Chains A and B, each alone.
Chain A
Amino acid sequence: MGYDVLVCIKRVPAPGARINLTDDEQEIDTRHLGFTMSPHDECAVEEAVRIVAEHGGSSTVLCLGPPEADEQVRQAISMGIDHGVLLAIDEIDWDPQATASAISDTIASLASEGTTYDLVLFGNESPDAGNYQVGVRVAHRLALPIIAGIKGIDFTDDGVGEGERQRAGGRGSIRVRRQVTDGFELYELPLPAAVAVKEGLNLPRYPAIKGRMRARKAQVRGFEPQAEPGGLRKVRLRQPREQKTETVVLGHGPEAATAVVDLFEELGLM
């Protein structure tokens, strides 16, 4: 019964107002930063937990990243994900081709052990690298249909039991929603499928104490992927040129209202 859902997540730093770089200009200086999973990924995790709560089945989180990304895998487990897989690498991340091949190889090797997934979820893009392609590459390697930019997922065969689905010769399908300028586009994907989701899909939960306890004790399965570098090579990171602005303080407290409304008038907003 139910659906087996895999969620792929990335560990990213949570920088403040300015992002500082390391001296070699290769990475951002994370010495004073916290880390989190990418916001789109967090929504994917939440969705997996909801799908399994509603329909049954199981959820697994998979992360490729430095050994410290164990923290994000456990964060997902604390939110209600059942199983964790960490593909530990020596770097912060790999280029998108190497990342995708490591993830798809892992999914394929799990399949050879008999573990398969009805739905593979990705975040639409990672906030730090913004490559927009890992999910699509993984899906293609695994011959799964995929659609990106999704803000709503519905199982169209709601109420149909596993037996009935199998007799019908498939595992059902999903209907997904994607926001466009003038509304939403709807797509239908036969399962098994992959979907890259965006923030706005749902409101991710805060882990409860019980979840955090469970996450601390959970077994996280490790894989050591082989790097297969692709053709996009980072040379260096740099700060964009920023225009200096002189801030005009219009006043303190409610007395500033007159000056503010003068500004509205000046800008033609009244």
Chain B
Amino acid sequence: MSAAHVTGPALLAFVEHESGVVDETGLELVSAGRAIAEDLGAVLHAIVIGPGAETALERLGAYGAAHAHVVAHPDLAAYAPAAYAESIIQLMGTHEAVGVLASGTEKGNEVLAHVAARTDLPMAANCTEVAAADGAPWALTRLRWGGSLLEDAELDASTKLATLAPHAFQAAEVNGAGIGGVTSAASRGAGIGGVRASAASRGAGIETVAATEFQPELDGASTAVHVVDHEPSGGGVSLASAPVVISGGRGVGSAEGFAVLEELAGLLEGAVGCSRVATNNGWRSHSDQVGQTGTKIAPQLYVACGISGATQHWVGCKDSKNILAINTDQEAPLVTRGNYAVIGSLQEVLPAIVDEVRRRKGA
């Protein structure tokens, strides 16, 4: 394949995709990867694995990948972390990789951990800043305590492995906004559509992004663990995407106490969340838990009822656009850190709010 222009040291980025769709986190990775590669005098290579990978290529060039490797193997039809890692390691070997980046997602962290384990290289998870210089340790910053603290660290290895915390870096198209896009060229060589900038829609000076098919050699040990089945979820308003989340903590007092939160959430077409105390007491299922070991959310409005605002809860809700705390204690951290507060008992305040919403809705 025409990889002649892609010479010199390589920085590899394992880009996740869902049936060919690369999400914002993946684009952030490519954008950040390009900047880091520039600092290193290296070339950014994207690695895409699994069915639909060819489609995933389309946006990678626009966001800064110079080259893409489409990893193809019958045993990679379903997600298999060790086999993904093995493929990346083989590409590291053939391309003088100075580093490998992945997103700080569940899969990104898992795959890179397998790369780290198999190569016995150090790995820095969930980085928010990376200062890389050729031939020197990388100076980086990473999340601790789910983001309540930051750690400045030094990563020293022949090949550096790091995952990037979601939303810590910005995704930006290389040639500024408004570029129409990179189109898949007609089938080339080994049957993979090379992705190249279409002259009509791209400005001058953008590199053509060539894609190479890569077939790794995999053994039974790396392919043993893979997805064997998939159970779809039930539906309903999901906690992660609801525009408003009505959340309850110890102050709710019981499982039954959540009825009024359910009622308000229903009226506003939102979701019900909770603190770990509610989960641990068996009042709510863990899938409702907001926080470091629960779900991280960013709704338009977060209503925290009877929740104090411990750091592990705060990291889960701090990205909400607006926070309203309802609490008997006006010194509670969620009250002092939130945008809005009502001081009082949720058992009195919530029914009054429900009544008022009903009145205005004329119901």
Contacts and interface: CB of A to CB of B under 8 A. Distances in A.
B230 A183 contact: yes
B231 A233 contact: no
Contacts of B276: 39
A213 interface: no
B55 interface: no
Contacts of B156: 231-233
Interface string B90-131: 000000000000000010011011101110111111100000
B314 A17 contact: yes
Interface stretch (B45-53, B185-193, B252-260, B286-294): B286-294
A233 B160 CA distance: 13
A130 B146 contact: yes
B89 to A, nearest CB: 12
Interface string A198-242: 111001100000000000000000000000001111111111100
Contacts, number: 262
A186 B231 CA distance: 8
B148 A19 contact: yes
B215 interface: no
B333 interface: yes
Chain A binding surface SS class: mixed
Contact of B149 (A19, A136, A267): A19
B311 A18 contact: yes
B341 interface: yes
Contact of A183 (B151, B231, B339): B231
B300 A40 contact: no
A112 B310 CA distance: 45
A142 B266 CA distance: 50
Contacts of A175: 228
Interface stretch (A62-70, A73-81, A254-262): A254-262
Interface stretch (A82-90, A144-152, A162-170): A144-152
A34 to B, nearest CB: 12
B199 interface: no
A238 B341 contact: no
Contacts of B300: 267-269
Interface string B336-359: 111111111100110111011100
Contact of A256 (B112, B282, B349): B349
B122 A188 contact: no
B341 A250 contact: yes
B117 A184 contact: no
Interface string B291-310: 01110000011000000111
Given A127-B312, A187-B226, A198-B293, A234 B151 contact: yes
B117 A240 contact: no
A231 B230 CA distance: 37
A28 B311 CA distance: 13
Nearest to B337: A245
B352 A189 contact: no
B97 to A, nearest CB: 15
B344 A133 contact: no
B144 A130 contact: yes
B341 A257 contact: no
A260 B338 contact: no
A133 B117 contact: yes
Contact of B232 (A147, A149, A182, A265): A182
A96 interface: yes
Interface string A117-128: 000000001011
Nearest to A184: B231
A236 B144 CA distance: 11
Interface centre among A146, A237, A247, A253 (most CB of B within 10 A): A247
B349 A253 contact: yes
A264 B301 contact: yes
B146 A257 contact: no
Interface of A: 15-19, 21, 28, 39-40, 95-97, 100, 125, 127-133, 136-137, 139-141, 143, 145-149, 175, 177, 179, 181-190, 198-200, 203-204, 230-240, 245, 247-258, 260-261, 263-265, 267-270
Given A130-B145, A233-B154, A254-B351, 18 more contacts: A15-B145, A17-B310, A127-B146, A130-B125, A130-B126, A132-B125, A133-B109, A147-B81, A188-B228, A199-B293, A233-B153, A247-B338, A249-B341, A257-B356, A258-B356, A260-B349, A267-B244, A270-B268
20 contacts: A16-B311, A17-B314, A127-B145, A132-B125, A183-B232, A183-B233, A184-B230, A186-B230, A187-B226, A189-B224, A199-B293, A203-B286, A231-B156, A235-B152, A235-B153, A247-B340, A249-B330, A253-B343, A253-B344, A268-B300
